[in-house]
Amino acid sequence: MKSNYKSKAIFLDRDGVINHLVYRDNDFYSPRCLKDFQLYSDVKKSIEFFKKKHFYVIIISNQPDISRGEMSIEELDQIDAFLNKNLDIDEIKYSFDSQVVNSGSKKPSPKMVFDAQKKWKIDLSKSYFIGDSLVDIECAKNANVPFILIKRKHNQDLIYPNSIESLNNIKTLIS
């Protein structure tokens, strides 16, 4: 089956990787509305680099605030429209599950990665998952996708062998 899968992809977590987290309730969280959604300055050029290297760019993100009623689908649609207008992204995949459950899609479940793999015919061994959390590390591990940790202000204590301080440094890890 692997021989049928020739495409490669960059799987990107959204919050904390593509966009800044929002500080509320004494911690950092996903933005719940477009006005709070701010891209990191290193994202656009990095995605352009991925596209030049013929990677699909797929966002894999947990968005439990939807099922918890703390964010509306309309706000999420506005954020998606902003992302699609400003970045060359092939697909955005979300889990709205509020908890990790058997056969669910919430990371660290690899379900969103596997769904994208089938749709885009992706060879996971030639792909990368870039994230900022333990949940992302576990999702990549569960999908058997090489992982790269992006270090941001909110996760400086997290340690992983393949780490970068900026997406601008991604060229040192991806050929």
Q: Looking at residues 149-162, what average pLDDT do you find?
A: 95
Confidence check: pLDDT of 160 > 70:
yes
- C-alpha 72, offset from chain centre: 20
**Straight-line distance from the first to the last Cα atom of the chain, in angstroms, rounded to the nearest whole number:** 25
Q: Are strands 27-29 and 22-24 parallel, antiparallel or unpaired?
A: antiparallel
Please report the pLDDT score of residue 4 as a whole number.
Answer: 74
Please report the pLDDT score of residue 2 as a whole number.
Answer: 44
Q: Tens digits of per-residue pLDDT, 21-56?
A: 999 999 999 999 999 999 999 999 999 999 999 999
Confidence check: pLDDT of 75 > 80:
yes
- For residue 79, give both structure tokens: 């954020």
Please report the pLDDT score of residue 5 as a whole number.
Answer: 85
Please report the pLDDT score of residue 3 as a whole number.
Answer: 52
Q: Tens digits of per-residue pLDDT, 129-141?
A: 999 999 999 999 9
Please report the pLDDT score of residue 52 as a whole number.
Answer: 96
